[in-house]
Structure 1
Amino acid sequence: MSENAIKAEGLTKVFNGSLVAVDHIDFNVKGGEIFGFLGPNGAGKTTTINMLITVLKPTEGKAEILGYDIAKQNTQVRYSIGVVP
């Protein structure tokens, strides 16, 4: 599978108007690829995952899971993924 399973462009999350948790990240994960988020505490890893699984809405940018827009097609995203914390 060579198409993007996950695609993020300019994905950003700001809390309370000033706390930037995720700052304009871009990445692509192709189908079948293994991908991980690494970083220190407070780097935005969990916030990024929560945006991708539609728990949080991005402040800016866009992302797709299997071609579904996380902001506009959140029901389809939720039916298409599984999350194990």
Structure 2
Amino acid sequence: MGGLIKFLPVTYSLLMVGTISLMALPFVSGYYSKDLILELAYSKYSFSGTYAFVLGSLTAFLTAFYSFRLISLVFLTSPNGGK
């Protein structure tokens, strides 16, 4: 799979918008909600608050990673299927 940006440009655009929101870049809805959740977890000065902050941060990083990996493998790489 790869190179589908030529055949599915609208799907690519919408998936990119969703990925940007999942990555929590500023000025999208995912940024404000994820930032608030992580800030509230960090403000709890206990083991469970620290644990929730670390786990939430790790989960946010992994979500951004696999979302961008999906876009790069499906849309941006060269096609490697049968011809």
Above 0.5 in TM-score?
no
Higher relative contact order (CA 8 A, sep 6+): 2
- Rg larger in structure: 2
**TM-score, scaled relative to structure 2:** 0.29
